[in-house]
Structure 1
Amino acid sequence: MEPPLELPTQRKRVIPSKFGILKRNAEIEAEKNRENLQQSSCFSHINEIGKEIGLEIWKIIDDSTIQKVPKVNHSTFETNKSYLLLMGQFYDGNMNIKTYNIHFWIGELLINSQETINFCNDRIEELERIIKYNQKQFDSEQFYPEPILYREFQGKEGDIFMSYFKSYGGPRYVAPLKLTSASAAIATAAKQYKLFHLKGRRNIRVKQVDISSKSLNSGDVFVLDCEDFIYQWNGSESSRLEKGKGLDLTIRLRDEKSAKAKIIVMDENDTDKDHPEFWKRLGGCKDDVQKAEQGGDDFAYEKKSVEQIKLYQVENLNYEVHLHLIDPIGDVYSTTQLNAEFCYILDCETELYVWLGKASANDQRTVAMANAMDLLHEDNRPSWTPIIKMTQGSENTLFKDKFKKGSWGEYVNDNFEKKPITGKGVAAKAVQEKINVDALHNPEKYQLSKEERKSTIPTLHHVDDKHRGELKIWHVRNRNKFEISQSEFGLFYNQSCYLVLFTLFAADGSNNSILYYWQGRFSSSEDKGAAALLAKDVGKELHRSCIHVRTVQNKEPNHFLEHFQGRMVVFKGSRPNATTEVSLENLSSSLQGLYHVRGTEPINIHSIQVEKAISSLDSNDSFILVNFKNTISYIWVGKYSDEKEAALQISSNVFTGYNFQLIDEGDETSEFWESLETNSSLSLLKDYYTQLRTVEQEKKTRLFQCSNNSGVFKVFEIHDFSQDDLDSDDVMILDNQKQIFVWVGKESSDTEKLMANETALEYIMNAPTHRRDDPIFTIQDGFEPHEFTFNFHAWQVNKTQQDSYKSKLSAILGSNNSGPASPIMLPTSGVTLKPTTAATPKPITTPTVTTPKPITTPTVATLKTVTPAVTLKPTTVTTPSKVATTTNTSTPSPTTITTFYPLSVLKQKTNLPNDIDKSCLHLYLSDEEFLSTFKMTKEIFQKTPAWKTKQLRVDNGLF
C-alpha cells in the first residue's frame, strides 16, 4: 500500500502594503536610472559628485575622456584645453540644502572650435543631470534650487569664477608644451622657464607671456618661474593688490615644488639689488622694460563693459518659437515683468542669461536655451560671451543687478506688451540713477510689504513653569567637536569655533531647538567649514526640528547673547586644549590684558579682549585690566558708562583669584597708567575717546556701503555692522547722529570717492531733523581716528593698518616692517582734532578754497570735513606719516609770544590789540593765569588732544 501523499506545508502569504510596493518599485527604478546614468556618463564615481562642499574641477582630454583635476592644481588652466567646474555651497545659510554653480571654461586656443563648445555644452548638461539625480536620492521631497550654468572663456571670466581662485593669486594660464616623447617631455619641463603677467583692478588675472625683458612693464607685476628660483618683479607703478596676489602665486608655485624653490622679490626702483641672474635667465636688461602706459589701463583691462540690455520672453506655440521683446519700465527692467509660467532671455551683449520660470514647461525651457545659442552667433558677438542658465529663485547677484533696485521678488502674472522681433530692438541702456537719500533716512517706507511672521526661535524668554531650557556647547577642533563643561559657558576664543545648542522642553513632552555655530573673528577656514558640517550632524542626531544659525563674532544676535547673562568674554587666540576642560586657574598667565565691556542693554553686554593701550579706553564703557595675580588688577569705569555692574560680575565670575581695584575715570593712579601703557610718553598724553555717547545714539549709528562694482553707483545699509564690514574695495559712510564719516577704502575707485562725498553731503542736507551743522569727515583706510573707531566694539588697529603684501613678504623673508603712521584728522568749521604722532602739535588751519576738489590719491592719509553750510575746503597733503595740513607760517607759538594779556581782556574778542592772533587767544595768557584757567601748563596743553583743548577754550571764552 502506497504511503499517503504528503502535502507541502502551507505558508502564510504576506501581502505587502500598497505603499511598500510603491516604495520598492521606486527603489528599483532609481537603481535602473543610476545604472543607465553611470553607463552613459563620461564622469566616474557619479555618486560622489557634489557630495562635499567646495570646488571640483574636471579637464576634458578629448571627446570621450574627462579627467578629474587634483586640488593642488585647481588654479592651473592649460590654454589648449577646456574644463568643467562645480562649486557646491550651502543655500542661504541652510545646512540641509546645497546650491551649485556649474562652469565650463575654454582656453584661448579653443575659442573658435565649435566642436569643443558643443561637447562642453553636452557635458555641462550631463553634470547638471547628475547633480539633480544625487539631490533626489538624498531627499526626494526636499526643494533644491536649480544649478546655475556659466560659460567662461580665458581672459573673460566672470567675477564669480574669479572669486574661486583668490587664495591662489588668481587662475594661472599655462601654454601647452610641444613634446616629441615622454623622455623629452620630462627634460623640457625641467628646463623650461615660465613668465607670468599679473594685472587687474580688483580681480587680478594671471597670464603666461613670452619670456623676454620686453614683456615687462612698470605698471604690473611679473613672476618668473625657474624651477630652482622663483622671481617676483614688481613694477614701480604696480598696485599693492597686484603685489599681494603676485606673492600668493609665488608661494603656490613654491609649494608645488615641495618648497624646494627659493623666492626672490624684486622692486623696479630698488637700485641696491640688481639681481643679474634674473636678467640673465629672462634675457635682456632693465632698459627693455616698457612704460606703465604700454601695459594698458588696469580698470579697462578687467572691467566688463556695460552694454545695451534687452529682455525677451520665449513662447513655444503650435510648434513655433516666438521671442517677444519687452519694453523696460522707465529706464530699467523690473521683476514684475517676469512671469513664472514663461522663460526669458536677458541679452546684455557680452552676457546672455536664460531665466526659467518655476511653472514653465519643459519644452519651453529647451527652446529657450537653443534660442540663446542662436542669439550668441548673431551681430558678430564675441566668441567668449557666456550663457548662464538659472531657475526662478536661484538667481545670482549679477543677474539681479540688471533689474530695478528694490523690485526683486515681486513676481506677478501681468499681461505684457509684446513686440515680435522684426529687426534690432531698441536697447535699454544702463544709466546712473539718483541716490534716494530719503530711503536712507526712512528705509521702512521703501521696504516691500510682507506678512509678518511670529518668531519661532526658542529663547530664555520662553522658560517658565511649563518650559525647561537646556544649553550645551561644543568646541570645534580638527574636524571634531568636544563638549565643554558648564563652568566654561560664555568663554570664547577669537581663533576658535563653537557649537551652541539651546533646547526648550515643554511639559507635554514636545521640544524645540536652536543651534548656533559661532565663528571666531580670526578662526581658520577649515574650522569654519568643520563647524558648519558638524552643526548639520548635530541637527540630524536630534531627530526633531532644529533652527541653524550661523553666528559671527561681533555680530551675535541678542537671543544668542542672553544665554550668558553678561558673562560672555572673547579672549585672543585659540582655545588651548581641545579634549579636556580648560581651567582658568591654569591659564592665569595667558589671561593678562585689557577687556572691553560694552552693550546697549543688560542682555547683550559682553566683553572682548582688546589691545592693551590707553587709546583703547572709552569714557562710555567699562574696562577690566588683568595683571599678574600677585599684583593689583583694575576695573576702570568710564564717566558715562552703564556697564559697571557687568564688569564687576565678569571680574568676580571669570577672573577669580585676582585682586581687583575699582577706579572711576578721573581718579586713576600713576600705577594704573603705567600698568596699562608701557610707553611713558603716551601714558602722559592719556589720549582716548572721552565724549558722551548716549545709548540711543549708539543704537541709531548706521553704516552704508558705497560701490559701483556693477557699473552703477549704489548705496546700501549694513545692519549689525562690525569692523570686518569695512571693505577696502569700496567707500563707507558712517552716521553716528553727531558726525558723518566718509571712510575711503585703499582700493576704491575715484568715482566711488567722489559720489560718496556727494551722497554724504546730500544725506545731511535732507536729514529729517536739523543736522546741517553736523561735520562730515573724510578719512583714509588704515588711518582711522578715535572719533571713528569708538563706533566699533573692540576695534583692532592692526587689522586695517597692516599691509597684506608686506605681512606676507615678512612671513617669507623674515623682515620686520615698520608700522603705519597714526591716524590724523583735519577738520574745518572750527573742529580741531590732533594726531597722536605729532611731536610738537600746532593749531591746525585750512586754506580758503572756493572750488571743491575731490581727493584722487587713495594712499593719502587725511581727514577733512565738509560742512553743508559752507564751501568744501580740501587740504593739501604731503606724506601719510605727517599732519596733513597747510600751515600758516605767521601763527604764533608759545615760545614766540612775549606780550601777555589778562583773561578779561582776551574774552572781549572786540577791540583787541593789533598784535593778537584771534585763532590762538589762549596763548596770550601768562603762564600763571594759564595754569589757573586750564589746570595745566602750556606744554601739557599742547600735547592734549585737539578736540579736548577746543572744548576747554570754548568753556573759558577763548575760542
Structure 2
Amino acid sequence: MGSNKTIDSELQGAGSKLGLEIWCVENLRLVSVPQSSHGKFFSGSAYVVLHTALLKSGALQHDIHYWLGKDANEVDSALASDKTLELDAALGSQSVQYKEVQGQETGKFLSYFKPCIIPVEGVYSSGQVKSKSPAYETRLLTCKGDRVVHVKEVPFSRSSLNHRDVFILDTSSKIFQFSGCNSSIQERAKALEVVQYIKENKHNGKCEVVTIEDGKFVGDAEVGEFWNFFGGYAPIPRDQPLAQQQPQTSAVKLFWITLQGKFTQSGSGRLKRSMLESNKCYMLDGDVQIFVWMGRITSITERKTSISAAEDFLRAQEKPVNTHLAFLTEGSETAIFKSYFDDWPQTVESKLYEEGREKVAAMFKQKGYDVEELPDEDDKPHIDCNGTLKVWRVNSGKLSPVPVADQRKLYSGDCYTVQYIYSANGREERLFYIWLGNRSSTEDRDDAISLTSVIVDSTKGDPVLARIVENKEPSQFFMIFQSLIMFKGGMSSRYKSIVAEKGIDDETYDDKKTALFRIQGTNRDNMQAVQVDQVSRSLNSSYCYILKAEGSIFTWLGNLSTTRDHDLLYRMLDFINPTWQPILVREGSEPDVFWDALGGKTEYPKEKEIKRFTEDPHLFVCTFTEGKDNLYYILKHYFVKEIFSYTQDDLTTEDVLILDCYTEIFVWVGHNSVVKSMQQALSIGLVRFLQTLLFIFALTILKCQYA
C-alpha cells in the first residue's frame, strides 16, 4: 500500500467535495481540468475522472475512471492507469475504478456528462484546444442510446446513413437531425438534446436546427438542402438484419492472478465468497464485463501487475470492444460483482448510518432547531391513507371476502388479497397487495398470486400490484391498515388440513389460549400487534408487549421503549379487546406468574435495536430478445442493464424497468412493452430478486401512468 507521501500533489485533498474532479495527463504529469472544461475530452489525451457521491449511510462513494482517447500515446495511457491506483490509495482504497476507451465508454461514465460527450481532435494543453483545423468543419455524427448517448463521428458520406440510427449533420450555419425510420422515439429525443448541446457549445446558440424524417422528401426546401450536402438525394439501402443480441450464457470464471501476472483458474459458474483471499488479486470473467478484485492487504505493485495482466487477457481473448474493465478493492464491491457469488454476506454498517443521521441532526441544530430524534425516511406516507380497504382470504382455490370487522386481522397460515382505493391527481387509483403468511401452504400462495393477477389485469386504469411476505412488510402497507393484528395460525381450509395431516397443534388464536403480542409502529395511524411465540426469548427491551395468560392480562414495558411506544401499547390493547384490564409490568420487576406463563425466564435481547440504513437504490432496464410473448420465453430471454444518474425521463413507455431498493423491488411496466400481464411482471421481479441475492421485503409492480 502506498502512503500519502507518495501521492501526487495534484491529488491531495481529492474526493473531499461532491461531484466531479478531472485531471489530464500533460507532459508526463497530471494537471487539473477546470470545471468550465468538464465534458470536453481530447482524443489525443488521457484523463483521470473522480466522481464523489454521498450515500444514504452517510459515507462517501468514490468512482474513478481513466479515459483514454483513441489517439492517446501508450505512455500517457499507462500514467493515467497508475494515477488511478494512486488516487484510490489516497482515498483509503475504497473506490471502484473503471477503464474507459473512447467510443466504448460505460453508461456510468456517460451519465456524468448530460447529454453527451463529443471528443475533440487534438490534445489538451492547459485548457486550450490545439485544433487540427481553425475553420469550422462540417461533421456527420451518429447518436446511439436512449438514456446515455454514445456520439461518434462517422465518415461524411451517404453510405454512413441507415434507417435504424439517428444522425446529426453539423454545418457552419445549420444543424440537421436525420432520424432513421427504424430508430426509437427515445433515441430521437436524446439526439435532439445533443443537437441543442452542439448549438449552445459550438455555435454560441446562433444557428438553425432542422429535423429530417427518413422517407419524407417531398416539398421541403430544407430536406433538399440536407441531401445537397451528400450530392443530391438517393435512396438509402435497406438495413441488413442485425445479429440478434442474446443474453450471455458462458460460464463465469474466476482466476487468481499470481505475482508474475499469470492466471490460475480457481472457480467457475456460481462462486463462493470464500474463494477470495485478502492477500491475493483475482480476475472475474463475466463476459460482458471483466472485474479485477484486489485484496485489502495487497500492495500497489501487485495491483498494477493484476491490472496489466487483465488488459493483456482482454486483448489475447479477443473480447468484444464493448467489454468493460472494472477494478475493485476488497470492501468496495459493486452490486453486480456481488451477484456472481451465491453467499455474499449481507453486512450492515449500522455505525455509518447512525453517524450519518447525527451529521444531519447537527446541521438542523446549527440552524436553531431542537432535534430530539430524526424521523425515519419511510414514516411519511406516499399516498392518501384515508381510502377504502377491501380484503379477501385465499380459501380452497378461491378468494373469499373477509368481513369488514375482521379485515384488519391477518393470520400467518393464510394468504390474502388486499385492494386499496384512494384519490390522487383528481382520479381514483387502485393499489393491490398480495400478502403471503409465513405458515401458508404453497398452493395458497400460488393461488393468491394467480387469482390476484387476474383481477388486476381486468381492472380499468393502471392499478399497482405489490407482493409481500409476512414480517417483511413495507411501511406503506401498515399505513393503509392503520391498526393491524397479525395472529398465529390460520383460517383457510388448507392450513387446517396441514395441521390435521401432520398431527400438530393448531396455533390459531382464541381467547382461551395464552398469547404474547409485540407492539410496534410509529404513530396512531401506523401501529401493529404481532403475535409471537409465548416464550421469554421473544421479548426485546426495545419494545412493549401484551401477554394474555390464564385469568390475567399483562402489559410489559421494555427498558429501551419510549413514551410513544407506551401510547401505542394502550391503543392496541383497546383495539384487540377493550374489555381487558391489564396489569402493568416494567422490565426487571416481573412477578413469577409472568415468567410462568412464558415457560420460565430465559435470556432475550436487551441491546438497543438499531434500524439498518436503507441501501441506495439502483435502476435497471430489462432488455428482451425478440420472440414469443409467453412467460417462459420472456423469463429465459431477458437481461438487465443498470441506468446511472437516472431521472423520471428514464420511465419510457417501451421499457420494463426494475428499481432495486434493497428492501423493496419495484417493476415499472411501460404501456408499449413486451410484458402484458401482472403475472409476467411479478415473475420478472422475482427472477431479479434471485439474481441480486438480496433480502426482498416487497415486490411492487407499477404500470406507467399519466396525470
TM-score under structure 2 length normalisation? 0.52
Deviations 1:71-91 (A, max 9, x none): 4x5444333332221111123
Task: Decide whether aligned partners of structure 1 residues 305 and 760 sit closer, same or farther in structure 2, where only a CA change above 3 A counts.
Answer: closer
Q: AA paired with 1:108? A: K
Aligned to 2:273: 335
Distance, in Å, in 2 between the alignment partners of 1:278 and 1:548 is 63
Aligned to 1:153: 101
Aligned to 1:883: none
**2:107 counterpart of 1:164:** no
CA drift at 1:207: 0.4
For residues 1-20 of structure 1, what are the structure 2 equivalents within 5 Å? none
For residues 865-880 of structure 1, what are the structure 2 equivalents within 5 Å? none
Aligned to 2:152: 207
Deviations 1:6-32 (A, max 9, x none): xxxxxxxxxxxxxxxxxxxxxxxx9xx
Distance, in Å, in 1 between the alignment partners of 2:365 and 2:654 is 37
Q: AA paired with 2:43? A: T
The structure whose residues are more often strand, as a share, is 2
Task: Decide whether aligned partners of structure 1 residues 289 and 176 sit closer, same or farther in structure 2, where only a CA change above 3 A counts.
Answer: farther
Please tell me whether the aligned partners of residues 107 and 153 of structure 1 are also in contact (alpha carbons under 8 angstroms): yes
**2:33 counterpart of 1:68:** yes
CA drift at 1:103: 0.9
Please tell me whether the aligned partners of residues 341 and 359 of structure 1 are also in contact (alpha carbons under 8 angstroms): yes
The structure 1 residue matched to 2:209, chosen from 231, 255, 263, is: 263
Distance, in Å, in 2 between the alignment partners of 1:211 and 1:332 is 48
CA drift at 1:278: 3.6
Distance, in Å, in 1 between the alignment partners of 2:623 and 2:462 is 34
Q: AA paired with 1:159? A: G
Distance, in Å, in 2 between the alignment partners of 1:213 and 1:688 is 47
Please tell me whether the aligned partners of residues 107 and 148 of structure 2 are also in contact (alpha carbons under 8 angstroms): yes
CA drift at 1:108: 2.7
Deviations 1:702-758 (A, max 9, x none): xx9983599974799xxxxx9999675743799xxxxxx99743685x6x7799739
The structure 2 residue matched to 1:311, chosen from 254, 277, 299, is: 254
CA drift at 1:313: 2.7
Aligned to 1:498: none
The structure 1 residue matched to 2:161, chosen from 212, 216, 230, is: 216
Distance, in Å, in 2 between the alignment partners of 1:183 and 1:396 is 36
Please tell me whether the aligned partners of residues 53 and 89 of structure 1 are also in contact (alpha carbons under 8 angstroms): yes
Distance, in Å, in 1 between the alignment partners of 2:129 and 2:263 is 57
Please tell me whether the aligned partners of residues 346 and 352 of structure 1 are also in contact (alpha carbons under 8 angstroms): yes
Aligned to 2:63: 101
Aligned to 2:692: none
Aligned to 2:82: 122
Unmatched 5+ stretches in structure 1:
1-29, 133-144, 411-449, 458-511, 516-532, 552-556, 562-567, 571-594, 622-686, 717-721, 735-740, 764-778, 783-795, 799-959
For residues 726-805 of structure 1, what are the structure 2 equivalents within 5 Å? 730-731=655-656, 744-745=669-670, 757=680, 760=683, 797-798=706-707
Task: Decide whether aligned partners of structure 1 residues 755 and 289 sit closer, same or farther in structure 2, where only a CA change above 3 A counts.
Answer: farther
For residues 947-958 of structure 1, what are the structure 2 equivalents within 5 Å? none
CA drift at 1:453: 9.0
Deviations 1:264-294 (A, max 9, x none): 2221233453415642663323315343338
Distance, in Å, in 1 between the alignment partners of 2:228 and 2:361 is 53
**2:310 counterpart of 1:372:** yes
Please tell me whether the aligned partners of residues 539 and 546 of structure 1 are also in contact (alpha carbons under 8 angstroms): no
SS of the counterpart of 2:190? Answer: helix
Distance, in Å, in 1 between the alignment partners of 2:130 and 2:299 is 56
**2:532 counterpart of 1:617:** no
CA drift at 1:761: 11
For residues 275-294 of structure 1, what are the structure 2 equivalents within 5 Å? 275-276=222-223, 278-279=225-226, 282-293=229-240
Distance, in Å, in 1 between the alignment partners of 2:69 and 2:130 is 25
SS of the counterpart of 1:161? Answer: helix
SS of the counterpart of 1:152? Answer: strand
Please tell me whether the aligned partners of residues 256 and 282 of structure 2 are also in contact (alpha carbons under 8 angstroms): yes
Please tell me whether the aligned partners of residues 364 and 371 of structure 2 are also in contact (alpha carbons under 8 angstroms): no
Task: Decide whether aligned partners of structure 1 residues 272 and 372 sit closer, same or farther in structure 2, where only a CA change above 3 A counts.
Answer: same
Matched pairs, number: 463
Distance, in Å, in 1 between the alignment partners of 2:477 and 2:428 is 20
Aligned to 1:325: 265
Aligned to 2:49: 85
Distance, in Å, in 1 between the alignment partners of 2:60 and 2:44 is 32
Distance, in Å, in 1 between the alignment partners of 2:233 and 2:129 is 36
Please tell me whether the aligned partners of residues 163 and 238 of structure 2 are also in contact (alpha carbons under 8 angstroms): yes
Q: AA paired with 2:75? A: E
CA drift at 1:599: 8.9
Please tell me whether the aligned partners of residues 152 and 158 of structure 1 are also in contact (alpha carbons under 8 angstroms): yes
Please tell me whether the aligned partners of residues 617 and 689 of structure 1 are also in contact (alpha carbons under 8 angstroms): no
For residues 396-795 of structure 1, what are the structure 2 equivalents within 5 Å? 396-404=334-342, 407-409=343-345, 537-538=363-364, 551=377, 557-558=378-379, 560=380, 597-598=386-387, 610-612=424-426, 616-617=427-428, 699=477, 707=622, 713=638, 730-731=655-656, 744-745=669-670, 757=680, 760=683
Q: AA paired with 2:294? A: L
**2:191 counterpart of 1:246:** yes
Distance, in Å, in 2 between the alignment partners of 1:305 and 1:232 is 34
Task: Decide whether aligned partners of structure 1 residues 185 and 309 sit closer, same or farther in structure 2, where only a CA change above 3 A counts.
Answer: closer
Deviations 1:283-316 (A, max 9, x none): 323315343338x57x75xx99665532123466
Task: Decide whether aligned partners of structure 1 residues 255 and 383 sit closer, same or farther in structure 2, where only a CA change above 3 A counts.
Answer: closer
CA drift at 1:64: 3.8
**2:139 counterpart of 1:194:** yes
CA drift at 1:394: 1.2
Q: AA paired with 1:797? A: Y
Task: Decide whether aligned partners of structure 1 residues 244 and 536 sit closer, same or farther in structure 2, where only a CA change above 3 A counts.
Answer: farther
CA drift at 1:208: 1.0
Distance, in Å, in 2 between the alignment partners of 1:378 and 1:81 is 25
Q: AA paired with 1:745? A: G
Deviations 1:904-940 (A, max 9, x none): xxxxxxxxxxxxxxxxxxxxxxxxxxxxxxxxxxxxx
Please tell me whether the aligned partners of residues 153 and 384 of structure 1 are also in contact (alpha carbons under 8 angstroms): no
Distance, in Å, in 1 between the alignment partners of 2:14 and 2:129 is 35
Distance, in Å, in 2 between the alignment partners of 1:276 and 1:688 is 42
Task: Decide whether aligned partners of structure 1 residues 762 and 391 sit closer, same or farther in structure 2, where only a CA change above 3 A counts.
Answer: closer
Task: Decide whether aligned partners of structure 1 residues 780 and 283 sit closer, same or farther in structure 2, where only a CA change above 3 A counts.
Answer: farther
Aligned to 1:233: 178
Deviations 1:308-345 (A, max 9, x none): 532123466xxx777542233xx422334333454322
Distance, in Å, in 1 between the alignment partners of 2:166 and 2:149 is 10
Please tell me whether the aligned partners of residues 742 and 756 of structure 1 are also in contact (alpha carbons under 8 angstroms): no
Please tell me whether the aligned partners of residues 67 and 100 of structure 2 are also in contact (alpha carbons under 8 angstroms): yes
Distance, in Å, in 1 between the alignment partners of 2:165 and 2:159 is 13
CA drift at 1:248: 0.9
Distance, in Å, in 2 between the alignment partners of 1:366 and 1:358 is 14
CA drift at 1:549: 7.8
Distance, in Å, in 2 between the alignment partners of 1:381 and 1:620 is 47
Aligned to 2:510: none
Deviations 1:10-56 (A, max 9, x none): xxxxxxxxxxxxxxxxxxxx9xx57x74xx54x3xx44532321223
Distance, in Å, in 2 between the alignment partners of 1:276 and 1:762 is 46
CA drift at 1:215: 2.1
Distance, in Å, in 2 between the alignment partners of 1:754 and 1:130 is 50
Please tell me whether the aligned partners of residues 213 and 285 of structure 1 are also in contact (alpha carbons under 8 angstroms): no
CA drift at 1:688: 8.4
Deviations 1:762-808 (A, max 9, x none): 99xxxxxxxxxxxxxxx9965xxxxxxxxxxxxx624xxxxxxxxxx
